[in-house]
C-alpha cells in the first residue's frame, strides 16, 4: 500500500469501528462474555494501541534510527503481517501492561471515541508528511511481533481495528 492508501485505510477502518459502537446501546457497550472485554474496553484498547504509534511518528527520524536501528530484512506485505499476527494470537499472544483497559462504564464511550479519532487523525497527518522510503527505513517495537518497519506497524494498526471490530460485532450480534 502507498501512503495515501494507508492513510485512507486507517481513517476508514477506524470510522467503521466507531460507527459500530454508535449503533450500540449503553447496555451492549458494557456487556462482555466471561473473561473477554466489553465494547467500550475494546475501544479503550485501540486508543491505547494507536497512541504510541502516533507518538513514534512525531519523533525525529535520526532518533527512530538510533532507538531501534534500521531494518535488516525486506518489509512484509499486509497479508504476511496479518498472518504473522494471527499466528501469534493462535499461540496464546495477548495484550499486556499498558494495553489492557480497565473496567469502564458506557459513559466513558463518547470521550474515548473522540480520543481515538484524534489519535488516528494525528497519525494520518504525520504519515502524510513522510516518504515511502522512510516507511521502510525505520523500525518500531511491537509487543507481540517484535521490530516492525513503520509501514508494517501501520498495516498492523489497520488490521488491529478490524480484528477488534469483528469481536465487538460478534458479541453485539449474539446479544441481540
C-alpha distances (whole Å) from 61 to each of 56, 57, 65, 119 are 10, 9, 6, 20
In a domain, 25, yes or no: no
In a domain, 24, yes or no: no
pLDDT on residue 171: 74
Q: What is the C-alpha to C-alpha distance for residues 163 and 109, in angstroms, rounded to an integer?
A: 19
**pLDDT at residue 34 tops 80:** yes
What cell was used for 172? 453485539
In a domain, 113, yes or no: yes
Boundaries of domain holding 140: 3-18+38-175
Q: Provide the pLDDT confidence category of residue 175 given band limits of 50, 70 and 90.
A: low
**pLDDT at residue 100 tops 70:** yes
DSSP codes joined into one string, 26-68: HHHHH---TTS--HHHHHHHHHHHHHHHHHHTTS-HHHHHHHH
**What is the number of structural domains in the chain?**
1
What cell was used for 60? 525525529
The whole-chain average pLDDT of the chain stands at: 94
Q: What is the pTM of this model?
A: 0.94
In a domain, 23, yes or no: no
What is the dihedral sign for C-alpha 107, 19, 14, 33? Answer: positive
**For 5-31, what is the mean pLDDT?**
96
Identify the CATH number of the domain in which residue 93 sits: 1.20.120
In a domain, 84, yes or no: yes
What cell was used for 110? 463518547
**pLDDT at residue 172 tops 90:** no
- Neighbour tally for 166: CB within 10 Å: 12
- Asked whether 101 and 37 are in contact (CB, 8 A), the reply is yes
Amino acid at each position: 500500500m502507498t501512503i495515501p492508501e494507508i492513510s485512507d485505510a486507517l481513517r476508514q477502518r477506524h470510522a467503521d469501528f466507531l460507527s459500530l459502537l454508535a449503533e450500540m446501546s449503553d447496555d451492549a457497550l458494557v456487556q462482555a462474555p466471561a473473561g473477554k472485554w466489553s465494547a467500550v474496553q475494546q475501544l479503550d484498547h485501540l486508543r491505547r494501541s494507536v497512541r504510541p504509534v502516533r507518538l513514534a511518528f512525531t519523533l525525529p527520524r535520526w532518533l527512530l534510527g538510533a532507538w531501534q536501528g534500521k531494518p535488516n530484512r525486506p518489509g512484509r506485505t499486509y497479508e504476511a503481517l496479518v498472518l504473522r499476527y494471527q499466528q501469534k494470537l493462535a499461540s496464546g499472544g495477548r495484550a499486556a501492561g499498558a494495553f489492557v483497559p480497565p473496567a469502564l462504564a458506557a459513559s466513558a464511550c463518547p470521550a474515548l471515541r473522540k480520543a481515538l479519532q484524534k489519535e488516528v487523525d494525528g497519525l494520518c497527518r504525520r504519515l502524510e508528511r513522510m516518504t515511502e522510503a522512510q516507511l521502510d527505513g525505520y523500525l518500531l517495537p511491537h509487543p507481540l511481533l517484535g521490530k516492525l518497519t513503520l509501514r508494517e506497524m501501520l498495516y498492523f494498526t489497520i488490521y488491529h481495528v478490524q480484528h477488534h471490530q469483528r469481536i465487538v460485532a460478534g458479541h453485539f450480534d449474539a446479544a441481540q
